[in-house]
């Protein structure tokens, strides 16, 4: 309440606010922690994954007990956040956010915080935010590098003004192929939350609608200013390609302990193989690649086959969500 721009009235505004945090990994944990301590009244946490030991290096709401219990991230996060501030209402949604569920999961959110680990979900969030005019705070961290950008629909550029299309499947490093520095997470989440709080407090004019891009290892820091693109398919032409795409499902392959995931886009297999070699044993064949992760975190031994049209077969599970999580983890999509 002592802070400029807050005061008694601002604190009361925060207490009445409802927000959504999409993804409860490294960014989502730090974002939710900051929001809870700031006294934001209602927080919906959305994540489909469970806590694993390898998360603890950067996912600040979890501890060894949570990973031993194999709790869903949103449940472990709720337990922790409730202990921090019992007056904040936490709604844990252990669910996959896609075009078929997004309207339900994000209903009522005044602002949305992006804590996702994959591009299809980010572009879907951007479509939703622009369509329904909900401020979105984009964030991403891989390795020592982080990015954050505030998207205020109608007041500045959207994600597609900055990057028209998501990178092709397997072309960009993911947190599971390149690691994530916890220190980089803290900066990105702080920027996202500070900008989000300004909106909740009624100080939209103070939000900086630029892209912050930094690398803590290389000591580089840039602020990129984008004008809204005059031909942006999303915020100018209001074409919501990602929100309109049917929810991608998958199918368990009968009797094979494997799941087939349909392809969404063409995949450069040679490039994907290069990215995957850091964490998997990879065999590149004509039209496909086979990868066996060096460390399986899903219990069963597993491997996956990726085809040039983006289709994927994940062996070692019959659970479609687990297969999708594996694809997001290793290929970012």
Q: How far is the CB of 160 from Zn ion (least distance, A)?
A: 5
Q: How far is the CB of 124 from Zn ion (least distance, A)?
A: 14
Q: How far is the CB of 164 from Zn ion (least distance, A)?
A: 9
Location of structure tokens 């702080």: 190
158, 161, 175, 234: the catalytic one is 175
Q: State which residue, 64 or 165, has the beta carbon closest to Zn ion.
A: 165
Q: How far is the CB of 197 from Zn ion (least distance, A)?
A: 24
Considering only 40, 43, 152, 158, the residue that binds Zn ion (CB under 5 A) is 158
Q: How far is the CB of 166 from Zn ion (least distance, A)?
A: 14
> What is the CA 301 to chain-centroid distance, rounded?
26
Of 77-85, 159-167, 206-214, 317-325, which part binds Zn ion (CB under 5 A)?
A: 159-167
Q: Are 220 and 146 in contact (CB under 8 A)?
A: no
Q: State which residue, 242 or 327, has the beta carbon closest to Zn ion.
A: 242
Considering only 160, 242, 315, 329, the residue that binds Zn ion (CB under 5 A) is 160
- Compose the 210-249 pattern: x for residues touching Zn ion by CB under 5 A, - for all others: ----------------------x-xx--------------
Q: Is residue 75 a contact residue for Zn ion (CB under 5 A)? A: no
Considering only 20, 161, 273, 325, the residue that binds Zn ion (CB under 5 A) is 161
Q: How far is the CB of 13 from Zn ion (least distance, A)?
A: 28
Assign residue 57 a region (left: φ > 0; alpha: ψ between -120 and 50; beta: otherwise).
Answer: alpha
3-class SS string, the chain: CCCCCCHHHHHHHHHHCEEEEECCCHHHHHHHHHHHHHCCCEEEEEECCECCHHHCCCCCCCCHHHHHHCCEHHHHHHHHHHHHCCCCEEEEEECCCCCCCHHHHCCCCCEEEECCCCHHHHHHHHHHHHHHCCCEEEEEEEECEEEEEEECCCCCCCHHHHCCCCCCCCCCCCHHHHCECHHHHHHHHHHHHHHHHHHHCCCHHHCCCCEEEEECCCCEEEEECCCCCCCCCCCCCCCCHHHHCCCCCCEEECCCCEEEECCCCCCCHHHHHHHHCCCEEEEEECCEEEEEECCCCCCCCCEEEEECCCCEEEECCCCHHHHHHHHHHHHCC
Q: State which residue, 153 or 196, has the beta carbon closest to Zn ion.
A: 153
Q: State which residue, 227 or 254, has the beta carbon closest to Zn ion.
A: 227
Q: State which residue, 238 or 283, has the beta carbon closest to Zn ion.
A: 238
Q: State which residue, 71 or 235, has the beta carbon closest to Zn ion.
A: 235
- Binding residues for Zn ion, total number by CB under 5 A: 6
Residue 175 annotated as catalytic: yes
Would you name the residues annotated as active-site residues? 175
Interacting residue ranges for Zn ion, rule: CB under 5 A:
158, 160-161, 232, 234-235
């Amino acid at each position: 309440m002592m802070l400029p721009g807050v005061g008694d009235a601002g604190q009361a505004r925060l207490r009445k606010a409802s927000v959504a945090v999409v993804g409860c990994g490294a960014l989502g944990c730090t974002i939710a922690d900051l929001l809870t301590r700031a006294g934001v009244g209602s927080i919906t946490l959305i994540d489909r994954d469970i806590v694993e030991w390898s998360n603890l290096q950067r996912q600040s709401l979890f501890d060894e007990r949570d990973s031993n219990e194999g709790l869903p991230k949103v449940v472990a996060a709720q337990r922790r956040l409730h202990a921090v501030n019992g007056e904040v209402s936490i709604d844990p949604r252990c669910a996959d956010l896609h075009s078929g569920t997004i309207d339900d999961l994000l209903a009522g959110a005044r602002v949305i915080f992006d804590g996702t680990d994959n591009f299809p979900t980010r572009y879907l969030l951007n479509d939703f935010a622009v369509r329904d005019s909900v401020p979105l705070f984009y964030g991403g961290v891989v390795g020592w590098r982080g990015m954050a950008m505030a998207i205020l629909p109608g007041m500045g550029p959207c994600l597609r003004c900055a990057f028209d299309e998501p990178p092709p499947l397997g072309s960009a490093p993911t947190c599971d192929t390149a690691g994530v520095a916890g220190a980089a997470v803290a900066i990105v989440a702080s920027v996202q939350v500070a900008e989000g709080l300004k909106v909740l407090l009624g100080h939209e004019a103070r939000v900086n609608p630029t892209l912050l891009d930094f690398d803590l290892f290389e000591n580089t820091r840039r602020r990129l200013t984008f004008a809204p693109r005059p031909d942006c398919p999303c915020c100018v032409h209001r074409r919501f390609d990602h929100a309109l795409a049917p929810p991608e499902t998958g199918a368990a392959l009968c009797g094979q302990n494997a799941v087939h995931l349909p392809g969404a886009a063409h995949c450069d297999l040679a490039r994907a193989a290069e990215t995957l070699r850091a964490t998997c044993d990879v065999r590149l064949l004509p039209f496909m690649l086979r990868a066996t992760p060096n460390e399986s975190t899903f219990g069963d031994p597993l491997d996956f086959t990726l085809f040039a049209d983006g289709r994927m077969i994940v062996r070692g599970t019959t659970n479609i969500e687990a297969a999708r999580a594996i694809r997001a983890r290793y290929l970012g999509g």
